[in-house]
Amino acid sequence: MKKTLKKKLLKNKKKETVYQKRFEKHFEELKWLYTELYGNNSMFAELCEQMEGFYRERGEALKALDEKREKNPGWYKRNDMLGMMFYIDNFAGNLKGVQSRLDYLEKCNVNYIHLMPFLETPKGRSDGGYAVSDFRKVQKELGTMEDLESLTAACHEKGLCVCMDFVMNHTSEDHEWAKRARQGDGEYMSRYFFFDNDHIPALYEKTVPQVFPTTAPGNFTWVEEAGHFVMTTFYPYQWDLNYKNPRVFNEMMYNFLYLANRGVDIIRIDAVPYIWKELNTSCRNLPQVHSIVRLMRMISEIVCPSVLLLGEVVMEPEKVAPYFGTLDKPECHMLYNVTTMATTWHTLATGDVRLLKRQLDIVNSLPKDYVFLNYLRCHDDIGWGLDYPSLMGEGIGERSHKQYLNDFFQGYAGGSNSRGELYNADPFSGDARFCGTTASMCGVEKAGFEQNEAMMEQAIRLDLMLHAYMFMQSGIPVLYSGDEVAQVNDYTYKDDPYKAADSRYIHRGAMKWDLAENITDSDTVEGKVFQGLDRLERIRKQEKAFMANADAWTIQTWEQSVLCIGRVFEGEKIIGLFNFSENDKTAWINETDGEYVDLLSGEEMKAVGVNVPAYGFFYLKKK
């Protein structure tokens, strides 16, 4: 008995030593940054005490995972990483339903799932779950925190990572803090931005851009009960938090650690650039934002080092890059490659790869340690935030081009087979964003409606080509649930009064499990797409050149519609060719350094003057 007790004490002592080493490694910078922001020693002491408390509460399995990933800090940069994002209710009803579908996710070769917002939100005033009223409760219809812990544990047993959204810029107007602030409680009013007249709000409005000028104009909302204006950058029911108040930072970090201790592997920080507000600025990308993200990174590395930070920063890759931090002071582990996604669809609509090539060259010039998440579609709309100065050099105007893109993807222009709807259309500026599933944008919906077999084959070929191109980019590819079976737009959202006004729900439809039953039938659309993706995913897993830190570059094809990407890792070289035209094209490349083999067909080829079929592609590996 005494020997067992002694072993247990030694084991616990070792664990405490592990924590102390992590804490001591970061203490000086942690204190310096916190003091620079807040100058409040007692609040810093409280934060440190709470951090140790969350470490002690962290489960043994999660602590073991922490130590395992600490020994291999680049574990998420492997070439077998593949993500899928979905809304829990649309995918499987609730958290228990998701757990029952893990075998299906394995069949999809997925090892990283992003659960779209599932924390408690008010019905009809949630912005798709991004107006959180309680950071420690799951929406009742989706389950409980215990269900979340059960799911994450089951995922870890199968080697799957779980990602969730952490909405830290604002809370719902129904959050407990907001309720108390509405009643005039000064302590809680100080956690937001309250003003008793419109003088200061008017000064902010002079320099702060509007996020949704059509559906939610302005950056402030009058709260009748409190007799004050409150800052609401996004929607009137989302109240911006005041991170100048150390109580806000501390409490949100406690929520962060609470969720990490439920087994979440990747915390997606929503709307990162907006976190810090200063008068006479744009309230975007301020230096204090980077201090906060750096503090989060250190807190995570001390308490739960297996957890990754994914930053939602919607800007061009070169402007996003500062959110990675530096090698000695890193911030986010991963960021989204948003601009490339939008440019991909521009390339399809124009049949011109020049802008896309330029952007990929910029991404490829960034340090290889940077990990981007790449995707064709996400839960949100496609905003046409393209490089218009470059396009202007080609005689393409911004307003007219946005109009063309929206017309093209609605199926009104350019001989397009795409289907979808506009979001946030502004008749005065002519600006609008676009919504639609990948399959519908590729023509699957139109071909199915018209029962046109030739059109369907072309749509499937285009769908697979776009995925093959996405897999060739550096970083982690992420599928939107349903894309693996070519699911089309869901127009039933218009029958739901809570969704009808938001056309983004057209591509957020419920998973069609009856279609998923066809994945083994190669005579069906679902089978052709699923099996085609499966082949691409397996190739990506098997070939070293797809490692995140491989050398990558674009190759001139001398053909406007064909993109060529090269990748090399440890002497292994792969060339990807992608035809964005509905006509056969020749890529006038001249890679004469040896013989190549097409990884899809097994055919030996020369990487010289390659004929690429309409919407076709090749993965050519040097022998």
| Confidence tier at 338 by pLDDT (50, 70, 90) | confident
| Confidence tier at 209 by pLDDT (50, 70, 90) | very high
The span from the CA of 38 to the CA of 482, in Å, is: 46
- Give the chain's mean pLDDT: 94
How large a percentage of the chain has pLDDT more than 90? 89
The predicted structure's pLDDT at residue 6: 41
Beta strand 112-115 with 170-172 is unpaired
Residue range 487-510: mean pLDDT, rounded: 94
C-alpha distances in Å from residue 16, one per residue of 13, 67, 298: 5, 13, 18
Q: Is the pLDDT of residue 10 over 70?
A: no
Q: What is the pLDDT of residues 293-307, one digit of tens each?
A: 999 999 999 999 999
The predicted structure's pLDDT at residue 14: 58
| 82: CB partners within 8 A, 6+ apart | 108, 109, 110, 111, 112, 476, 477, 478, 479, 537, 540
Please, what's the largest Cα pairwise distance for the chain? 83
HEC letters along 568-601: EECCEEEEEEEECCCCCEEEEEEEEEEEEEECCC
Q: Is the pLDDT of residue 9 over 50?
A: no
Angle between helices 525-542 and 453-472 (to 10 degrees): 20
Q: Is the pLDDT of residue 7 over 70?
A: no
Angle at 216 between CA 214 and CA 222, to 5 degrees: 140
The span from the CA of 134 to the CA of 130, in Å, is: 11
So where are the chain's domains? 2-71, 176-240, 550-622
The predicted structure's pLDDT at residue 414: 84
Q: Distance between alpha carbon 585 and the CA centroid of its chain, in Å?
A: 33
- CATH number 3.30.565.10 is the correct assignment for the domain at 550-622: no
Q: Is the pLDDT of residue 255 over 90?
A: yes
CB 338 within 8 A of CB 402: no
Label residue 320 left, alpha or beta by phi (over 0 means left) and psi (-120 to 50 means alpha).
alpha
| Confidence tier at 152 by pLDDT (50, 70, 90) | very high
Other C-beta atoms lying within 10 Å of the C-beta of residue 527: 18
Catalytic residue list: 270, 312
Q: What is the pLDDT of residues 363-407, one digit of tens each?
A: 999 998 899 999 999 998 999 989 999 999 989 999 999 999 999
C-alpha distances in Å from residue 422, one per residue of 407, 459, 598: 9, 21, 39
Q: What is the pLDDT of residues 11-45, one digit of tens each?
A: 555 567 899 999 999 999 999 999 999 999 999 99
Closest by Cα among 33, 255, 252, 265 to 162: 265
> What are the tokens at 330?
């890193």
Q: What is the pLDDT of residues 549-575, one digit of tens each?
A: 899 999 999 999 999 999 999 999 999
pTM of the model as a whole: 0.94
Fold of 176-240: Oligo-1,6-glucosidase; domain 2 (3.90.400)
The span from the CA of 520 to the CA of 615, in Å, is: 24
The span from the CA of 161 to the CA of 25, in Å, is: 27
Q: Is the pLDDT of residue 578 over 60?
A: yes
